[in-house]
Amino acid sequence: MMANADRKWVETHILHDGDIQFYGNLLREIEGIGADAFWKEFRRIAQEYLTAGHQGTQMFHALVDATIERLVERDRRYGYPPPFCHKGCDNCCHELVYCTSAEAKGIQEFCQLKSIPIDHEKLQRQLDSVVFDSAGNHSGATTWNDQPRGDQSCIFLDPQEKCCQIWPVRPLVCRVHLAEGSDEFCTPHNGQENAQAKGINYVELSYILSVVFTLHQDSIRKTMGRLLLNENRS
């Protein structure tokens, strides 16, 4: 009975006529999780985000960071090594980045405050490798990794220090990108994950990103580049 109520709430307040935008392995894990538990947790997180209003982005950035810290510590207690990720490890910063419009706004404000230039010309070149549909959303197709190596890197990656210049306001997708053992296979090829990638997938994070991706599917599909350029290309 309650599960129906949770599902109904999500369908009424979140989905309307749309679909859930699944992130990570969540869709594959639903069978093990159970439909009732899935709808309950999805609703709980969505309500938390919506209740936070314009603080939602900042609050969920902090939530994701704290969740990762907690899960890595839990794994450490079970004898698992920590993620390989460290400062100067940048292979995952050579791909298309997605963010919400609120995240893009936060990045723009941070760059203004810290006098970090936004390389609009590079963003324009990068967008030429991304296919958008007639509604102006990324269709899924890209030739991102066919660009010269210099253009494959995120505009916020410091080429000398090999670190993120907008670390405090980096998007959720950047926060949850974790790998174990090696960074060798962390760069996807034109949107396709390397089969040898050793990504760490925490279902707790997949829930959070699935909620945000579903709520903000319009802006997420525009990609970070278009949002920063405030572009309307289709």
Binding residues (CB under 6 A) for ligand SF4: these are: 84-85, 89, 91-93, 97, 154, 156-157, 164, 166, 170, 174, 177-179, 183, 186
Strand locations in the chain, DSSP E?
A: 130-132, 138-142
Least separation in angstroms between CB 15 and ligand SF4: 28
Q: Which C-beta is closer to ligand SF4: that of 45 or that of 111?
A: 111
**Pairing assessment for the beta strands 138-142 and 130-132 based on DSSP bridges:** antiparallel
Q: Can you give 29-50 as a three-state secondary structure string?
A: HHHHHCHHHHHHHHHHHHHHHH
CB–CB of 190/142 below 8 Å?
yes
Q: Which C-beta is closer to ligand SF4: that of 85 or that of 118?
A: 85
Least separation in angstroms between CB 52 and ligand SF4: 22
Q: Closest Cα to residue 167, out of 61, 49, 60, 68?
A: 61
Least separation in angstroms between CB 89 and ligand SF4: 3
Strand locations in 6-137, DSSP E?
A: 130-132
User: How far are the Cα atoms of 9, 10, 27, 39, 222 from residue 104, in angstroms, in the given order?
Assistant: 29, 26, 27, 29, 11
Least separation in angstroms between CB 23 and ligand SF4: 15
Q: Which C-beta is closer to ligand SF4: that of 53 or that of 117?
A: 117
Q: Which C-beta is closer to ligand SF4: that of 39 or that of 213?
A: 213
Least separation in angstroms between CB 228 and ligand SF4: 11
Here the tokens at position 143 are: 């030739």
Q: Which C-beta is closer to ligand SF4: that of 13 or that of 76?
A: 76
Q: How far apart are CA 195 and CA 176, in angstroms?
A: 19
Place of tokens 């939530």: 63
Q: Which C-beta is closer to ligand SF4: that of 13 or that of 87?
A: 87
Least separation in angstroms between CB 174 and ligand SF4: 3
Place of tokens 């599909």: 221
